[in-house]
Amino acid sequence: MIGRLNHVAIAVPDLEAATATYRDVLGAKVSDPVPQPAHGVTVVFVELPNTKIELLHPLGEKSPIQGFLDKNASGGIHHVCYEVDDIVAARDKLKTEGMRVLGDGEPKIGAHDKPVLFLHPKDFNGTLVELEQA
């Protein structure tokens, strides 16, 4: 069902500093910051030859990332994102297997302008999983 690893998301308390680390210290190509008001985050994508790193920073007072940073002041890995060919078929199969889809269970448009869903971390060994339609 799952395809390639699309990205690993890292919540960061200082987006400019994190971007500079990846760009200036590690020599990676990084995107400009992209506000995602529907998700309460600002993102920067770090392009790698085989995948991406998504730097997440809170946008607005109700950002879900702020809660994560309140518990993890230095930041840390927030979620992993896998590609699927058909997000609705993947969701339906996962639900029949007893997996929990977060939110209302309907795909939302994510940072890549593609449908995404999040799966409950308790069903995936403590890891928040995002599925993105390829």
How do the domains of the chain map onto residue ranges? 2-133
Catalytic residue among 54, 83, 130, 132: 130
Per-residue pLDDT of the chain (134 residues; tens, 9 = 90+): 999 999 999 999 999 999 999 999 999 999 999 999 988 999 999 999 999 999 999 998 789 899 999 999 999 999 999 999 999 999 999 999 999 999 999 999 988 899 999 999 999 999 999 999 99
Q: Which H helix or E strand runs over 15?
A: helix 15-20
The answer to whether 47 is a known catalytic residue is no
What is the CA 37 to chain-centroid distance, rounded?
Answer: 14
pLDDT tens digit string along 43-63? 999 999 999 999 999 998 789
Cα–Cα distance, 94 to 118 (Å, whole number): 11
Name the one residue in this structure whose structure tokens are 């990205």.
Answer: 7
CATH class of the 2-133 domain in this structure: alpha beta
Q: Model pTM?
A: 0.93
